[in-house]
Structure 1
Amino acid sequence: MSVPVSLTTRITLACVGVALVSAVLSGLAVGRYVATLDSSAASTVPTATAGPGTGANPTAPLRQELRAAREGAAQRPAVRIARSVLLSVAVGMLVGTAAGAGTARLLTRPLRRTAETARAMSAGRRDVRVPVEGPPEVADVAASLNELADALARSEDRQRQFLLSVSHELRTPLTAVRGYAESIADGVVEGIDAQAAGRVVLAESARLERLVRDLLDLARLGAADFHLDLAPVDLVRVLQDAAQVWRQRTASRATPLRVELPDGPLVVRTDGARVRQVLDGLAENAVRVCPPDAPLVLSLRAGGAGDPDGTRAVLQVRDGGPGLSEADYAVAFEPGVLGLRYRDDRPVGVGIGLSLVHGLVQRLGGGIRAGAAPEGGACFTVHLPDAD
């Protein structure tokens, strides 16, 4: 198994290697230059010759000295080259080590701080931040980690608020169910009053069941085994069935219901039950906030110019209610945000419905956006493709 090498060691070794190669090449160049000079000097040493007519050889010692001088001159370049290379290598190692250590310290110090901050965040701390320093690339890593810490803090705060909202929403029907159940059990409520109490318990139980079902669906949306029953579906028929149910509910609230349909069938390969769930979720959200005489519009048309590529059908749910601000539209599909924001101003739910609708549309391969409606309230537009 290979042993991991730290970034500091890698940088130092790289700098030392570069310095050593440069030192060897420069040492060889200097040595070769010196050798050239020595060879030139050796070639200028005179050669002694014997005088004519002499029986003895009085110049023999001189010739030996000259030969020794030439041999020494021939050996000096190799010695000088070796010395030059060794000196260059020694200097290169010192310079490379110093440069590598300094560079590694400059680069790895902010990285070590970033790693320490990441470990602190994984331990649950959200108040730690990394100093943005060092080279631009390293500083960008620190800035990105700080942005991640801010996003995590905001997300966890929203989750806490959402759980508080869910707890509040659960507590209300549970209190009613418990109170009426105790009254029936103690015999305080009898006869016709007991029947009325039973209906209240039944209604609150249904409300609890619906809330729990929405919570489970919201949790399952991210799972790989979330089931979709894909088949060719006539969305005109789906919208007509939904309108028949919502016409009865809107009539009791004096809310006019208007349905806009294409001339013929509009068949899309999708999950009809999930599309109906999307329609019901958007309609329920709209009816809850609509004042009397404010319209509710269910609209369907075929995809066309201006719609995202691949759009086969466009569903719209519009209302004449109080609407939302531009900032609200940006966070409309985040769990619990609008519920917390408008709890004291208008009748709102726990804030699960729009999040669930958003997740369902995404699983169907489509997209959804929120904006202002011509009727004065909010408009939710769903683009549906042929699902794979």
Structure 2
Amino acid sequence: MTIAARRGSLRGSLVLLTTTVAAVAVVLTGLFAWRVIRTNAEVQERDQLSRQAEVMARTPPLASWMLDRQQRIAGPDEIRLALVRPSAEVVGPAAAVVDDAQRRALLAGHEVSATARLDGRTVLVEGTPTSTGGGLVLTQPMNAVDQATDRMRGSLVLPLVLGLVGAALAGALLARRLTRPLVSAARTAHRLSEGERGLTVPAEGPTEVAELAGALNTLDAALAHSEGRQRDFLLSVSHEIRTPLTAARGYAEALADEVITGDEVPEAGRILRTEIERLERFVGDLLALARLETDDFRLDTGETDLDALLAEAADAWAARCARHEVDFRLERPGVPLTITTDGFRVRQLIDGLAENALRVTPAGKPLVLALRTEGPGAVLEVRDGGPGLTDDDIAVAFERGALTDRYRGVRAVGSGLGLAIAHRLTARLGGTITADGRAPEGGACFTVCLPPHPDAGPPTAPYTPRTSR
């Protein structure tokens, strides 16, 4: 049994909910109506009895005749009559229910409405003054009210049942309207999880459901874009790996077949070593990026003097820049600048950015490593005199292989992973990295803001690199 089956469908839950709400409303309405019907039935019977009393009171001969008839034929379920004479004498079969207060009220010209006991039964009492100065009183057994109540209550059952059935049908229609786009969205989500792309969910139904459909459509487009980038990246990776492998294989076969002999062997060996080192660096970049994206990436933090660390890195990069005839420059405080971080990873970050900068910096142009304080943290800069970056370049600078794909064959490019590694590594150190299209030296500027501690987050006011546009 699936989780959905155990929990029940949304459609069934909505039908059950609406039916339950309708049932509660019907029960409450029924209970209220049950009590009101009794009151209304009594009011109607009293009103009818009162009108009869008024008709008889306006025709005294009729009242006297009815009195004679009531005396002779009144039965246990009949309306009974009593006359209050102007002399205050009360006569008639219902005389026993007329008390002194009612008699005085009738003689004073007031109507009487009450309930009394007559022959052991509860009866309705309605009295009205007569034109001769007395009064006329009619009584009716309460069972007439009971009978009227039963009739009204019987007619109430069918509307309540119809209301309950109608609510259930309305709930089913509502559930269908709500769940149809949800079911469509769920099916689309399953198809997306199975690898289908280019799917569209109609934005219908309530606002929230339409927003869900829009989110799935956006997700579909994002997945298609991401997978397209991944395919392009894998093609780039395949190309980058195939090139050194092809060269290494060719020289290896040539050595094995003794095509290369004598004085050519050392040169072939050097080429083999260069291609293998190139392949090793590329594979190392892939592993580094994969390691940075895992949850168990380890940082060995401690008190680190960034000024000393940058000076150490400068010694290595000054020599490399000299070999490429690049003008290396160093800007540092010259005093200890200590924060809590992983010095090894910071050096890895500096080396990666410097490697990227050196690759695009032509001979005679500068490459700058800079360090400065920024609030409680520190700011590292790597600037170069290369071709710089456009706004479109900056938007994708830290995506894997984006700039490599864009500039392959136009300028010197690497594996396409260096800036992605720098971005992820900076985030692991709790900092931020930004790219600027043109540094004061004419090329690109990459700025790393490091907090005083990895858990402290980036500085509150990140340094904005200077530009010369």
When normalised by structure 1's length, the TM-score is: 0.89
1:35 aligns with 2:35: no
Match of 1:19 among 11, 14, 22: 22
Deviates more, 1:63-72 or 1:98-107: 63-72
Residue 108 of structure 1, CA deviation: 0.7
Match of 1:303 among 361, 364, 374: 374
SS of 2:339's equivalent in the other structure is strand
**Which residue pairs with 2:7 in the alignment?**
4
1:64 aligns with 2:73: no
1:216 aligns with 2:287: yes
**Which residue pairs with 2:388 in the alignment?**
323
**Distance in 2 of aligned mates of 1:265 and 1:136:** 58
Structure 2 regions of 5+ residues with no counterpart?
54-69, 79-120, 124-139, 456-469
1:127 aligns with 2:198: yes
Match of 1:346 among 385, 407, 411: 411
Residue 85 of structure 1, CA deviation: 4.2
Q: Is the contact between residue 299 and residue 315 of structure 1 (CA under 8 Å) also seen in structure 2?
A: yes
Q: Is the contact between residue 338 and residue 351 of structure 1 (CA under 8 Å) also seen in structure 2?
A: yes
Structure 1 regions of 5+ residues with no counterpart?
48-57, 305-310
Residue 192 of structure 1, CA deviation: 3.0
**Which residue pairs with 1:377 in the alignment?**
443
Deviates more, 1:226-235 or 1:81-90: 81-90
**Which residue pairs with 2:462 in the alignment?**
none
**Distance in 2 of aligned mates of 1:282 and 1:298:** 10
**Distance in 1 of aligned mates of 2:21 and 2:361:** 74
Residue 135 of structure 1, CA deviation: 1.2
Counterpart of 1:387, as a letter, is P
Q: Deviations over 1:48-102 (max 9, x none)?
A: xxxxxxxxxx948514123796243232354245325422321221220221112
Deviates more, 1:284-293 or 1:11-20: 11-20
Residue 255 of structure 1, CA deviation: 1.2
**Which residue pairs with 2:91 in the alignment?**
none
Indicate the percent of aligned positions where both proteins have the same amino acid. 49
Flag the 1:166–1:97 CA change in 2: closer, same or farther, 3 A: same
Please identify which structure carries the higher strand content: 2
**Which residue pairs with 2:298 in the alignment?**
227
Flag the 1:42–1:321 CA change in 2: closer, same or farther, 3 A: same
**Distance in 2 of aligned mates of 1:256 and 1:329:** 25
Flag the 1:28–1:240 CA change in 2: closer, same or farther, 3 A: same
Relative contact order (C-alpha < 8 Å, sep 6+): which is higher? 1
**Distance in 2 of aligned mates of 1:232 and 1:346:** 40
**Which residue pairs with 1:361 in the alignment?**
426
Q: Deviations over 1:196-254 (max 9, x none)?
A: 11111112111111111110111111222222221111111211121111111111222
Q: Is the contact between residue 41 and residue 149 of structure 2 (CA under 8 Å) also seen in structure 1?
A: no
Q: Deviations over 1:136-171 (max 9, x none)?
A: 110000000111111111111111111111111111
**How large is the Cα RMSD of the aligned pairs?**
2.4
SS of 1:365's equivalent in the other structure is coil
Match of 2:220 among 114, 125, 149: 149
Q: Is the contact between residue 434 and residue 448 of structure 2 (CA under 8 Å) also seen in structure 1?
A: yes
Which aligned segments of 4 or more residues in structure 1 are displaced greater than 6 angstroms? none
**Distance in 2 of aligned mates of 1:267 and 1:323:** 31
Q: Is the contact between residue 27 and residue 81 of structure 1 (CA under 8 Å) also seen in structure 2?
A: no
Counterpart of 1:153, as a letter, is A
Q: Is the contact between residue 37 and residue 153 of structure 2 (CA under 8 Å) also seen in structure 1?
A: no
**Distance in 2 of aligned mates of 1:315 and 1:81:** 89
SS of 1:35's equivalent in the other structure is helix
**Distance in 2 of aligned mates of 1:16 and 1:81:** 25
Flag the 1:273–1:60 CA change in 2: closer, same or farther, 3 A: farther
SS of 1:65's equivalent in the other structure is coil
Counterpart of 2:454, as a letter, is A
**Which residue pairs with 1:52 in the alignment?**
none
**Which residue pairs with 2:263 in the alignment?**
192
